[in-house]
Amino acid sequence: MRLPSPRSSFVALALVAAPTPALAAPPKADPPPALRLAIQRATLDNGLRVVMNVDHASNAVALAITYDVGSRDEAQGQSGFARLFEHLLFGATKNLAAGEFESLVASRGGFVTARSAVDRTAYSMVVPENELALGLWLEAERMRSIDLSQAALDADEKALAVVDRVPYGKAEARLGALAFEGALAYAHGGLDRADVAAARAFHAAHFGPNTAVLAISGDFDPDMAMNLVHRYFDGIPRIQAKPFVEPNVPEQAAERREVVDDALARAPALSYGFVMPKLGTREHDALRLAQVILGDGEGSRLVARLVRGDALATEARADVDPRFGRGPGLFRIEVRLAKDAAVPEVEKRIDAALKELADTQPTEAETIRARKRLEAGFVLGLSGIRQRALEIGKFELWNGDARAIGRELERLASVTPADVQKAAAQLLATKRRTVIETRPKPSVAGNLASAAEGAR
């Protein structure tokens, strides 16, 4: 059961305003917002890392446990295991029946969420501030004694099979697989059949206190919280976890292209993918700005030209795939074609926009707009306690110190228009791209209906 989020509170920010420029003056960037986010950290003897952010303006408390495991940890024949465990950890335990985890939280006015990605799997809940003990007990209970029976596996595999049937889902899966061809950790997709032995081995290798970060944000007393953490988590033993070994991703030397038929797609679509450098590099940050300039919002180049200008598309966007974290990323462009629009013509326009950015620096106004949109998204993403708990847990996992979150905006502010052009020229080149064309495929039911209509 998923319930609406309780009232959110806001991160304390210092916004440094610059003087208003004269009308004729070129735009000038303000300094980035200064994040003032109080974070306390501790580590238990069993390796569980705890990060806390007290916010008495909230009327609730959020818990997030982020495990250092994702799809990149899946071996051959284990595709989809990380997503499977995203669901499995809501199942029965030694002291909870199936479904009781969520019903207990909902009965106290809270809600739960979960998500797996390439390099992490995160579970979160929001409960009233007087239910912190319940939330911590629940998280410890499933960390200690989750049910991994065949019946539990079968039920969750059926649920995942239904979730995967979404329009354009085939293109998304194939884009990542083809772009990372030759690097299994990032290329595999789909869902392999999980037997009990394989699932238990995967769980034993990746889900333990020493592979997890527990983040708490909201209205709570940190000393009381730590006493509860010790009470519920101290007795959970460490696991024998092997550090992830970053694979070599072969440099792409020529364009990769594929066509997929999709019975759920309403219109043709084009999906571009480019493998990106790691998070934290200047090239990665430059491509984040390039993503906004090309396809984020009404003022972006692809939207202005393909959607609002020539009406060749109903949707155009560029993004940095949020599933990727510490390893290489994936820069994506997604365009849904308008009725009667020709794929070659739309592709020609996309290529022209990429070449323009590679050949000429973006304007100062475009660069400032891109930075401001990224800043706004980042700050607003910290306004609610649930997302804030997830973010500080993620930063602790990625950087070894959640307080690194305070340097995020400063790093983005240092990116220049020249950096954006250079990154586009080097990393968004034609030889490095992967292109998936989605062609709508009439369903069997649709074909039968058309045939019946024609026979009348």
- Supply the pLDDT for residue 215: 98
Rounded Cα distance between 114 and 126, Å, is 12
pTM reported for the whole predicted model: 0.88
pLDDT recorded at residue 252: 96
The residues of the chain scoring below 70 in pLDDT are 1-29, 158-164, 443-456
Structure confidence at residue 152 (pLDDT): 84
Helix (H, G, I), strand (E, B) or coil at 154: helix
Contact predicate 423/244, CB 8 Å: no
Q: Is 258 exposed, middle or buried (0-12, 13-18, 19+ CB in 10 A)?
A: middle
**pLDDT on residue 28:** 62
Written as six digits, the tokens of 332 are 């994506």
Please give the pLDDT value at position 286. Answer: 97
Q: Quick one: pLDDT at residue 253?
A: 95
